Chain A
């Protein structure tokens, strides 16, 4: 019997091909083991086809973990992990054929082959198939001499010694990059010159520049990091090497929770590479474009800090994208073959509501049109659709399709979406994220396409992945979000742009009208604290100022907390917030209430509702608080402050403040007496209900979906 050991360094890309090969092996009497980074459950092989051994990503043995930490090459790490595994060693000892399933696995098979001289060692399942067949048919020949076995054994010893020497040299190099050395003028100059030394092989220059750059960032020497990179890239001729270095540096800095020193340079280099590929290898160009966009719109600069370069200087920040031919190819409007048809006159409108995001903002809309006689409603959350759900996780697929004009991904979307488009008269996609991007890959026929953009999308790459020439109407929830998005996405102001609307969020505000206890007067509330953008520390600062004069004021934080695993910068914010809370919670000055479904109940104990965020599109929680009779105090959201439209134009002027001091001042005045507080609260509740209650806003939606008709 032929024993075949297959080594996989990554998830098998061609699963059907692998299964087919395993079936052939079985038919030819071979027994098969598969080892590596494979998930036996995901592979779901039929019984008897192969034994699957998944290597632990984090081995239990501390010595092995330390050894792995020193290895930078994934292929080498795979070998070390595999050889430490007793199951694998047993299989290697008796294997007749060793197979590398992918390029990461080649080295492990190469090492195994040195230790098992009898076995064939081949690259690829196809080559393995030919060997297994030849063995089965008795036509296989092996011609390896004893001297080869000897030299293989000697080679193992020699390589071990060489590797130890290289490790020692690398550790010495690391010592010369200690923070103190890098912060010193001499050290900085030394490394800057070293990476720019003439005649240095490109691979060595790139590796050295990367290390110096990163160590400089960690040593809080960003200028040295930038100077080192500039010096090195000035000597690197290849666009790919340059882009790889800059992208790798930027990614490592993002992992550290920092906005990369050379973010613009990295994005520009990656886009230059994309443009080089564009004429002949569009899929490859798309890959580079997507890489650049992931850097440009990474959560660290836009979501996990209290400012965003996109909000501060959009034109400058997006300039590399605007200059890229590949990005322009992606943004080329494809239009639709036929215009959207008018709503049918002889039957109810078929309305399909679709989202792959938070469905919270759809509740009132769904309820209204589910019961409206003039509408036949279908609702689809893509997470519940087994075909569509995996498609929502592939923005790279959207980019490739837009750049190349065709793709396997686009074909899958077409197959899935077409029946829905054939049914619907109007398709409403909530959130301008994956579902929206997928929708515009397909010509919608005569179906009218309506989309809604809330807030965070404007700071992400998603709106750039939507072909707005295939969208008829785009709804924003506020003027300031519309203005910023139009500034960021040129397709929204072009000839083929959709009609733009501003319709507030659908909220049933009457359910918040409940009596408040007198004690609520000194209770500030902040509802929603799960993002850095909510900036709860601003609210704490307001509280500190109030309590400096009057210790009756307290703050209630409602909602789930931050997720420090999201990024290093979130972790840093969380650490500072935790220190604040450690100081204020024991005295009862701050109370945290986790997630609750009874927001009206919680609001009955809150007398002042805060919006401390750096950015919001609308801030429903503030409006709901106002509707409950709490005094609203909204920070002039810094992302939009000073623009034509902002928190100051969305809300009555007296609701909005610029600083914690102004906030404290307004709160003191509005809570000076119980009567004043109740009167302020009642006025705010009246304004909120008259302006934003669903009974008012629903007419805007009726007009949007059924212009000139009754729902």
Chain B
């Protein structure tokens, strides 16, 4: 796992100056999932890059080719509209082979045993880097960061995970050129955010990688306190470098005018987000929805609109979740596919209440909870009671509370949300939005970017130091 170069060679290289372009510091941002990838992490990546650019940095983003996302959740070009045009984007010819759907590209062995072939791939990937699916990307990523640095010397490498294979490229640049780095760890790696506790031990291959790379990081960002605490406990030496950078919401996703329901016509409940939780969770919500409709005439004439990405590869919009949604069409449930970022505010504007479906527990916050909170709409929570989303929603005046995933109790939440949707005053809606204001994405990221900037340049180059706003970049 070490550099193939000797330590001496590394030191020699570390001392060598790479070409600089002007006075602006340069950050390489390893951000696989950067716009136009239609991924929820793209919002955070866009804002991070924009803030660095606004703070006076030259920014080079390294991600994968646009067409590679077609195998996953596809592209949302409206996301790219908000990217600062000064940002340079390097797209690597990497793609997930496991999500290939063109059978002509399969070998005979793969066609005979598709699952076994994927398992073999996984084993090979793990030999390259201890991360299934992405481990095989390591050589290409390492070459890419070295090439970009050689062409335009970097003062900072900002790496965001997942995928965690980014850590290998980060480490390579550190080993060879001592380029300082910050890890935006988001949901962490060794923490099992779904089950709680550790996902792997310190002495495992992944554990050794994580410990080694984090030890030299200038800062480690996490999306919530429970994850940050996990890392502070796991690596006490990192205690002062771990900080929470919540996901937050983008202000352009919040509807501009207060909502007016039409109870006579029925309400519209909405869900927006990737549908990547277990089918049983979706089924519990749909069961609760049916039970509530049986009992409440208002809900009986209401609709439930589900928007987002479902499945990838051969299972894209053809998996168990999709079957549940299609089968629930007779109960007023409608799946409308993913929404472009530019259409998000309009969707919140026409919905009367929201359904927050989330996996995990106290280690998971998600990104959508912030948007939901800021929408000013009633929120039905469909997640574990002990969940970090509940921390964000605590005190929200239009939240029906976390009741777990029992369909009977969720049915009561639907009824309560319907009542709130009809009875909430403008003041209550405004109070709900005010409750969420502290979670604006820009405000969440700004101190962290400023801190990273100060750490590297020694200057207090805060946001807007070059006179431009990070909100929406220059688009």
**Residue positions of A touching B, CB distance < 8 A:** 13-17, 19-21, 73, 75-76, 98, 100, 103, 106-107, 109-111, 113, 120-127, 129, 144, 159, 279-280, 283, 404, 406-408, 411-412, 414-415, 418
What B residues does A122 contact at CB under 8 A?
101-103
Tell me the minimal C-beta distance from B277 to chain A in angstroms: 12
Which of B108, B287, B311 makes the CB contact (< 8 A) with A126? B311
A interface footprint on B279-315 (CB within 8 Å = 1, 0 otherwise): 1110110010011000000000000000000010111
Which of A14, A120, A408 makes the CB contact (< 8 A) with B319? A14
What A residues does B12 contact at CB under 8 A?
none
B435: Cβ under 8 A from any A Cβ: no
What A residues does B113 contact at CB under 8 A?
73, 75
Q: Contacts A110-B108, A126-B316 hold; do A415 and B287 have CB atoms under 8 A apart?
A: yes
Which of B103, B108, B278, B407 makes the CB contact (< 8 A) with A109? B103
Which of A14, A127, A129, A406 makes the CB contact (< 8 A) with B284? A406
Which of B100, B111, B287, B315 makes the CB contact (< 8 A) with A411? B287
Q: Is A17 touching B323 in the complex (CB atoms < 8 A)? A: yes
Which of B101, B111, B408 makes the CB contact (< 8 A) with A414? B408
B125: Cβ under 8 A from any A Cβ: no
Q: Is B322 touching A17 in the complex (CB atoms < 8 A)? A: yes
User: Whose C-beta in chain B lies nearest to the C-beta of A148?
Assistant: B104
Q: Is B317 touching A280 in the complex (CB atoms < 8 A)? A: no
Q: Is B278 touching A283 in the complex (CB atoms < 8 A)? A: yes
**Residue positions of B touching A, CB distance < 8 A:** 100-104, 106, 108, 110-115, 192, 194-195, 197, 278-281, 283-284, 287, 290-291, 311, 313-320, 322-324, 326-327, 329, 405-408
Query: Measured between alpha carbons, how far is A406 from B280 in the docked complex, in Å?
Result: 7
Tell me the minimal C-beta distance from B53 to chain A in angstroms: 35
Query: Measured between alpha carbons, how far is A280 from B197 in the docked complex, in Å?
Result: 11
Provide a sorted-by-A list of 17 A–B residue pairs whose CB atoms are within 8 angstroms. Answer: A14-B319, A14-B320, A15-B323, A16-B326, A21-B318, A103-B114, A110-B104, A122-B102, A124-B314, A126-B314, A127-B314, A280-B192, A283-B278, A408-B283, A408-B324, A411-B280, A418-B408
Q: Is A13 touching B101 in the complex (CB atoms < 8 A)? A: no
User: Whose C-beta in chain B lies nearest to the C-beta of A110?
Assistant: B111
Between A14, A279, A418, the greatest number of chain B beta carbons within 10 A of the residue's beta carbon is seen for A14
Q: Contacts A408-B280, A411-B284 hold; do A106 and B317 have CB atoms under 8 A apart?
A: no
User: Whose C-beta in chain A lies nearest to the C-beta of B114?
Assistant: A103
Tell me the minimal C-beta distance from A240 to chain B in angstroms: 9
Query: Measured between alpha carbons, how far is A123 from B111 in the docked complex, in Å?
Result: 10
Tell me the minimal C-beta distance from B296 to chain A in angstroms: 16
What B residues does A107 contact at CB under 8 A?
108, 111-112
Query: Measured between alpha carbons, how far is A403 from B283 in the docked complex, in Å?
Result: 17
Query: Measured between alpha carbons, how far is A144 from B281 in the docked complex, in Å?
Result: 44
Query: Measured between alpha carbons, how far is A493 from B366 in the docked complex, in Å?
Result: 44
Query: Measured between alpha carbons, how far is A14 from B408 in the docked complex, in Å?
Result: 26
Query: Measured between alpha carbons, how far is A414 from B326 in the docked complex, in Å?
Result: 21
What A residues does B316 contact at CB under 8 A?
124, 126-127
What A residues does B406 contact at CB under 8 A?
406
User: Chain B: interface secondary structure?
Assistant: helix
Using A98-B103, A126-B318, A280-B195 as known contacts, list a sample of 16 further A-B pairs with CB atoms less than 8 Å apart, ordered by residue number in A: A14-B326, A15-B323, A20-B326, A73-B113, A110-B103, A120-B102, A121-B102, A123-B100, A126-B314, A279-B195, A279-B197, A280-B192, A283-B280, A406-B284, A411-B407, A414-B287
Query: Measured between alpha carbons, how far is A412 from B319 in the docked complex, in Å?
Result: 19
What B residues does A17 contact at CB under 8 A?
317-319, 322-323, 326
What B residues does A20 contact at CB under 8 A?
326
Which of A111, A129, A408 makes the CB contact (< 8 A) with B279? A408
What B residues does A19 contact at CB under 8 A?
326
What B residues does A120 contact at CB under 8 A?
102, 104
Tell me the minimal C-beta distance from A75 to chain B in angstroms: 5
Q: Is A414 touching B103 in the complex (CB atoms < 8 A)? A: no
Q: Contacts A14-B323, A127-B101, A411-B284 hold; do A280 and B194 have CB atoms under 8 A apart?
A: yes
Which of B115, B279, B318 makes the CB contact (< 8 A) with A103? B115
Q: Contacts A75-B111, A283-B280 hold; do A106 and B291 have CB atoms under 8 A apart?
A: no
Q: Is B280 touching A13 in the complex (CB atoms < 8 A)? A: no
Which of B103, B195, B313, B324 makes the CB contact (< 8 A) with A100? B103
Query: Measured between alpha carbons, how far is A75 from B113 in the docked complex, in Å?
Result: 8
What A residues does B103 contact at CB under 8 A?
98, 100, 106, 109-110, 113, 121-123
What A residues does B101 contact at CB under 8 A?
122-124, 126-127
User: Whose C-beta in chain A lies nearest to the C-beta of B196?
Assistant: A279
Query: Measured between alpha carbons, how far is A683 from B270 in the docked complex, in Å?
Result: 76
User: Whose C-beta in chain B lies nearest to the C-beta of A98?
Assistant: B103
Query: Measured between alpha carbons, how far is A124 from B315 in the docked complex, in Å?
Result: 6
Between A20, A120, A124, A418, the greatest number of chain B beta carbons within 10 A of the residue's beta carbon is seen for A124
Query: Measured between alpha carbons, how far is A544 from B317 in the docked complex, in Å?
Result: 69
Which of B115, B313, B324 makes the CB contact (< 8 A) with A124? B313
Which of B111, B311, B318 makes the CB contact (< 8 A) with A106? B111
User: Whose C-beta in chain A lies nearest to the C-beta of B319?
Assistant: A14
Tell me the minimal C-beta distance from A98 to chain B in angstroms: 7
Tell me the minimal C-beta distance from A405 to chain B in angstroms: 8
Tell me the minimal C-beta distance from B381 to chain A in angstroms: 15
Q: Is A415 touching B290 in the complex (CB atoms < 8 A)? A: yes
Tell me the minimal C-beta distance from A410 to chain B in angstroms: 8
Q: Is B314 touching A123 in the complex (CB atoms < 8 A)? A: yes
Query: Measured between alpha carbons, how far is A123 from B118 in the docked complex, in Å?
Result: 14
What A residues does B111 contact at CB under 8 A?
75, 106-107, 109-111
Q: Is A407 touching B280 in the complex (CB atoms < 8 A)? A: yes
User: Whose C-beta in chain A lies nearest to the C-beta of B115?
Assistant: A103
User: Whose C-beta in chain A lies nearest to the C-beta of B404?
Assistant: A406
Q: Is B291 touching A14 in the complex (CB atoms < 8 A)? A: no
What B residues does A283 contact at CB under 8 A?
278, 280
What A residues does B317 contact at CB under 8 A?
17, 126, 129
What B residues does A13 contact at CB under 8 A?
320, 323
Which of A121, A126, A415 makes the CB contact (< 8 A) with B104? A121
User: Whose C-beta in chain B lies nearest to the C-beta of A103?
Assistant: B114
Q: Is B318 touching A125 in the complex (CB atoms < 8 A)? A: yes
- List the 6 closest pairs (A to B, CB-CB), nearest first: A124-B314, A16-B326, A110-B111, A127-B101, A14-B323, A121-B103
Query: Measured between alpha carbons, how far is A103 from B408 in the docked complex, in Å?
Result: 37
Q: Is B326 touching A406 in the complex (CB atoms < 8 A)? A: no
What A residues does B407 contact at CB under 8 A?
411, 414-415
What A residues does B323 contact at CB under 8 A?
13-17
Tell me the minimal C-beta distance from A152 to chain B in angstroms: 9
What A residues does B278 contact at CB under 8 A?
283
Q: Is B326 touching A106 in the complex (CB atoms < 8 A)? A: no
Tell me the minimal C-beta distance from A685 to chain B in angstroms: 54
Query: Measured between alpha carbons, how far is A121 from B194 in the docked complex, in Å?
Result: 37
